[in-house]
Structure 1
């Protein structure tokens, strides 16, 4: 692929979108529907609708992030697609709008609750892109709410699961806040304090995961390797970024954090649906890594 289609696809950050897909799979696993309804045509349709919904929501949100950052990116990240003029601002706006409309529309086909969640996620994404990312506390929390909402969107395949287990959405909120903190000053470095807070949040995520998993009856002997893998790769990436506090190591820690959402989501799946489904989710990690070598991860 080359030319305009490639540049438009680059704006969508395909490697990031794979991680959003695993949010949905994790949410469905937590809901319990995955175990009992895999042969149902209705289940398969809802699954596909939610997967394409999150593709639209994530893709649209990240396109608008580049749109709102165009002025600053022209100075700080001139290598990006919009500053280089490879895609016009109007083309990017059209793409972002279409993706968000697709995300919300497909979710409403699943259920009213799914549609409302998708609409809220789209508003949260736009508020982050335009306003909250410029604030040190509200920004990371806002981004975390987007991911927590995406997990709930997957759970909304069963409305009862959202109302009964909504609190599990706190886990991705904290972890995404940690990634967002790590990304602070990634273009210039000198963010050791933010990385320390991010490391603390990662540790809290592990403790909270164990507690929530106990409440939900997760099978810890199955999920433990996935959870340790997730924590290990994040700890070492952030530790290296703290010691060598330069843009290159910080950006690598951010990239690791984003891609590590896949093993984190595999941990949910392992605890709630079993090893087979968890390994399937984890198998998406090599694909995401491969895409990250071709397309930027932010």
Structure 2
């Protein structure tokens, strides 16, 4: 009897870990690290010194784990009726996790993320609240809309980047245009992902490829900004293009579910090279390498957990 209880307990723990999609959470850490690089470089240009120490950085990293983890859990909570038909192996429809338990689990993560951000500053708390609200809006409503879905999810990832920038609150508004990078990149992933179950359309696929191209071009253009080094960005930019363009082009040419799922997985993990390129441009190539070091961690976890 004891061994049976231990088995079911471990099975339930595994189910809730699946709901969190750990490979994706690693990419959220990269968002915040890139935002911290932006804040540090911008502050250095003005001759200031960062008031944020290791505890503040840790608070932001904990915050993004809570926000992203809670957001992906609520994705399964709202999708439970649909997953019962299309993906019955997922934790909630399979019975490994309850819908109410998952909702409580996701709510605790979101609350913890907001609380951790609030421990740093009111500005960080406001950013965290907006990201949490955007995640729930996406899960409950926006994801089912062709335009609103990609825009909402892109803004959530952009908010994650700005969460890192909020380490220095006065630098938040001047760096607001950086939202465009995750907005376009995640917009591409979200657009193409709409066909991952039944197949998509070439039109949507090529739109996603175009958005990826705009992100790459924008990162090149960012090298002309004071304090940003194109020389440091270039290697990471090349890696980003090599990692994400081939699977997206294949999925656009032949929008079959399997190819689309491959493109989505590549795109989600490629958020780390995207952030590494930003981090290297603002903080130097060593900082970019630090962010890129999250890539094998995310890849390794993607062998154990779904990313979609």
The TM-score, its normalising length taken from structure 2, stands at 0.92
SS in 2 for 1:164: coil
Does the CA contact (< 8 Å) of 2:78 and 2:139 recur in 1? yes
Cα distance in 2, alignment partners of residues 45 and 148 from structure 1: 23
Correspondences of 1:1-298 after superposition (within 5 Å): 2-32=10-40, 42-298=52-308
* Range with bigger deviation, 185-194 or 91-100: 185-194
Deviation at 1:42, TM superposition (A): 4.8
Q: Is the 8 A contact 1:107 1:114 kept in 2?
A: yes
Size of the alignment, in residue pairs?
Answer: 296
Q: Is the 8 A contact 2:34 2:278 kept in 1?
A: yes
Change in Cα spacing, 1:33 to 1:2, as seen in structure 2 (3 Å) is: farther
- Alignment partner of 1:79: what SS? coil
Give the SS at the match of 2:228.
Answer: coil
Alpha-carbon distance in 2 for matches of 1:220, 1:186? 35
Q: Secondary structure at the match of 1:215?
A: coil
Q: Counterparts of 1:284 and 1:5 in 2: how far apart (Å)?
A: 24
CA contact 1:64–1:96 (8 Å) conserved in 2: yes
- Whole-Å separation in 2 of the counterparts to 1:102 and 1:82: 23
- Give unpaired runs (5+ residues) of structure 1: none
Kept in 2, the 8 Å contact 1:59–1:99? The answer is yes
Asked if the contact 1:29/1:35 (under 8 Å) is kept, the reply is no
Q: Give the Cα–Cα distance (whole angstroms) in 1 for the partners of residues 36 and 70 of structure 2.
A: 22
**Change beyond 3 A, Cα 1:190–1:165:** closer
Deviation of the 1:40 alpha carbon: 8.6
Mark the CA change 1:102 to 1:216 in structure 2 (over 3 Å): closer, same or farther: farther
CA RMSD of aligned residues (A): 1.8
CA contact (8 A) 2:77 2:99 kept: yes
Is the 1:29–1:272 Cα contact (8 Å) retained in structure 2?
A: yes
Q: Which moved more, 1:189-198 or 1:286-295?
A: 189-198
